[in-house]
């Protein structure tokens, strides 16, 4: 059994990339506001290393505001084809401007324009209004470079707990829990299904 949850996650993700029919990097992100009211949505993981799991968003979105007021999150990967899931809990930190710029530069031009046009999570009077804003951004930037909007960046979830869940017959599932020790390293244990 692997004693490094980062290596185990990478192994499981590689298998998911080979078997999942759509978006093996899709994950649910759960946040809570300052009063503890929870909210969850699907996003795409755009990076993983020993520091944590990275996703990007509009910082003025609901999740952005919740992460500022309550800088903790939970993630869930569910790979149905593998009958596995991974649960992650931890504190969050913003990614660096260099990281956000580098990732933003990999997005399609239309996606970069959409980031400028969208007031993510805000009320929208009509689809036509959003499309008009998108067209205004196309005109504004013309054929030039589309830089990263100041309100668009990423978050890194720094895991304190990582649970690897495997489906087993008769609901006798296997649950392996890694808990980060103070000062680094991991403790591993099992949970009843």
- Of 84, 171, 176, 180, which residue is the catalytic one? 171
Half-sphere exposure (Cβ direction) of 114: Cα atoms closer than 13 Å: 8
171 is catalytic: yes
Half-sphere exposure (Cβ direction) of 34: Cα atoms closer than 13 Å: 3
Tokens 């969208």 -> residue: 118
Q: Are 70 and 33 spatial neighbours (Cβ–Cβ below 8 Å)?
A: yes
Q: Give the DSSP letter of residue 1.
A: -
Q: Which residues are CB-neighbours of 43 under 8 A, at least 6 positions away?
A: 26, 27, 29, 55, 57
- With H, G, I as helix, E, B as strand and everything else as coil, classify residue 166: strand
What is the DSSP secondary-structure string of 136-153?
HHHHHHTTS--PPPTTEE
**Distance in angstroms (rounded) separating the CA atoms of residues 137 and 76:** 34
Residues with catalytic function: 171
């Amino acid at each position: 059994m692997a004693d490094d949850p980062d290596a185990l996650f990478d192994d499981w993700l590689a298998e998911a990339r080979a078997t999942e029919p759509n978006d093996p990097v899709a994950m649910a992100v759960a946040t809570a506001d300052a009063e503890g009211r929870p909210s969850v949505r699907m996003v795409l993981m755009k990076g993983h290393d020993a520091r944590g799991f990275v996703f990007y968003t509009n910082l003025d979105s609901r999740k952005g505001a919740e992460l500022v007021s309550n800088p903790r999150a939970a993630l869930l990967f569910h790979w149905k084809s593998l009958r596995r899931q991974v649960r992650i809990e931890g504190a969050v930190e913003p990614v660096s401007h260099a990281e956000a710029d580098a990732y933003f530069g990999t997005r399609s031009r239309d996606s970069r324009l959409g980031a400028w046009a969208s007031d993510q999570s805000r009320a929208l009077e009509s689809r036509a209004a959003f499309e008009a804003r998108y067209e205004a951004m196309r005109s504004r930037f013309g054929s030039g470079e589309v830089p990263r909007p100041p309100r668009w960046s990423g978050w890194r979830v720094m895991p304190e707990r990582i649970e690897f869940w495997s489906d087993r017959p008769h609901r006798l599932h296997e649950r392996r829990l890694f808990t980060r020790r103070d000062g680094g390293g991991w403790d591993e244990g099992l949970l009843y299904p």
